[in-house]
Structure formats: structure tokens, C-alpha cells
Amino acid sequence: MSLRAAIALVGLTALLGSSAARAEAATQSLDNVRAAAEQAMHDRYSRPGSRVVVSSEPLDLRLQLDACGEPLRALVSDQAQPRSRMTVPVQCPQPGGWTVRVPVQLQVFRQVLVSSRALSRGDGIGAADVHAEERDVTRLGYGYLDNLDQIAGRSLSRAVARGSVLSPGALGGRRMVRAGDHVQVLARLEGIEVRADGVALGSGDNGARLRVRNAASGRVIDAMVSAPGVVMALP
């Protein structure tokens, strides 16, 4: 090969290399697009006491995007509830820019209230009946409770198994009787009704079973809540 041909080959190689570099520089990194989507999800769902895990799915390698001269903008609605699979639109906000929808997998771990024992419908529920556990709230489709104030004075609208995450739908109305309340105890036998004063040893809504101590005799009996401050003695 002549010296002139060798010089020409080197020049052509350099030209092709610089053209490829320019083409690569003019193409938006798909990894940066994914990173923008992941960061937006972290920013949206992170809060004190939360642990957020986000992983975006690979984008089609055939996707060719013009390099964006502005910071990428990922859009996550303030009203969007966390779900295990979501899609995040990522925009290049410059004139003539583009938008790509990035699929992501999301986990949001938070401390939620879990029942410490089996509870029946109508039972009153308090701090002694629950404890906090870390759970992925994206998988709690019926919602969750995370504050003892949310259950204060409430009863259950349905039975709850031990270890169940408490949801808003599991709560009924305010308890008609609370532990320590002075209640009126009714007893009926063959058409005769007897009333006595008692002290509730448990809490509950209408229909809940609890123990009551007779204020006069000190005897403890089983009873059922029938109205605010009123229980019916059970046989």
C-alpha cells in the first residue's frame, strides 16, 4: 500500500469514527430515561418511615431518541396510588421533544397495623389488639391503617384473623361499650326482666360478646352489647 493510500485510509477511518461518535452523542441514553422514571417514583412515594424499591423494565433497544438538551421530566400524578406495576411518562421538554412511557415495578414498604389475635365482628379494637409490621402497601388493595388514632374507639365490622393487616373496611362504628364503662345489665327469664348495674371488662359494638362484673355481687358474667351502655346477660 502506498503512503498516500495509507494516509487516506487513516483519514477515512477517523472521519467514520467521528461521524459515529456524533451519531451516538445525538441519541438519548435509554438508561438515563429509565433512571428519570425511577427517581420520580422514589420522590413521589418516599416519606419518613417508608422504604421504596423501584426497578424499571428495559426499553426496546430499537428505540432511537434525539438527545434532549433539557433535563428529562418524569410525570407521576399526586393522586396516583402506589401499585406493584405502573407506567411513568418521561418527557424531553424542549420544543419538538418526545415522550416515552417507562414500565416500572414498585414496592413501597411501610409500617402498618396488624391484628395480634383473632377478633370477632363487633369487638372493640385498641392498642393491645394490634402491632406494627412492615408490609408492601402496593399489594394491599383494600387499603391499610398505620396509626392507632385511626382505631381509637372503633369496633370491627367483620371478623379478623390473627396476623391480618387492618383495612378501613374492617372498621365499624364507634364502640357502644368500652372497657371500664358502667353499664346496665339486663336479664330476661320467662317474661321477667331484671336490671342490675355492672362494669364492662371488654369493649364492643352492638352484638359483641364481652365479660361484665356485677357491681353489687362482684360476679363476672358473659353478656352481649345491645345498646350504648346496655348489655344483655347470656345464659
What are the structural domain ranges in the chain?
15-174, 182-233
**Whole-number Å distance between alpha carbons of 234 and 218:** 17
What is the identity of the amino acid at 1? Answer: M
CATH architecture of 182-233: Roll (2.30)
CA distances from 171 to 23, 52, 220 (A): 61, 28, 28
- pLDDT for the residue 2: 54
CATH architecture of 15-174: Alpha-Beta Complex (3.90)
* 134-153 CB burial, b ≥16 within 10 A, e <16: ebbbbeeeeebbbeeeebee
- pLDDT for the residue 6: 46
Q: Is the separation of the CB atoms in 156 and 172 below 8 Å?
A: yes
- pLDDT for the residue 161: 95
**Whole-number Å distance between alpha carbons of 78 and 151:** 26
Whether residue 164 has pLDDT greater than 80? yes
Mean pLDDT confidence for 148-153: 86
pLDDT in tens, 187-230: 887 778 889 999 999 888 777 888 999 999 999 999 988 888 89
- pLDDT for the residue 178: 84
- pLDDT for the residue 59: 93
pLDDT in tens, 6-39: 444 444 444 444 444 444 458 899 999 999 999 9
Q: Is the separation of the CB atoms in 124 and 172 below 8 Å?
A: no
Mean pLDDT confidence for 150-162: 88
Short-list 180, 175, 165, CA closest to 116 = 165
